[in-house]
Amino acid sequence: MSLDDRLLAAHAAHDRAALVALYTEAAETSGDADAAGFFLTHAYVWALHLGHPATASLRARLVSEGREE
């Protein structure tokens, strides 16, 4: 199953933990810096909603990439 399909399935299932992981994966595999930032932001937002353990590290990545202050 493609990453897009897995993202759609996670949204349909309201699986927030999967969304954090899948958007992080999308950011890490994107060949475009702007797309990676978009995906990383989504991973961070879902992590915030969930209280996910990766929230701080996702924010740190956004800060280091100049996308969050």
Residue ranges per structural domain of the chain = 3-64
Token pair of 10, please? 């996670």
Residue listed under structure tokens 């990453």: 3
| Residue in 11, 23, 28, 69 with CA at minimum distance from that of residue 47 | 23
Q: Are 43 and 27 in contact (CB under 8 A)?
A: yes
- The pTM of this model reads 0.93
Q: What is the pLDDT of residues 13-32, one digit of tens each?
A: 999 999 999 999 999 999 99
CA 21/CA 18 separation, integer angstroms: 5
Token pair of 59, please? 């924010």
pLDDT confidence of residue 24: 98
Low-confidence ranges of the chain (pLDDT < 70): none
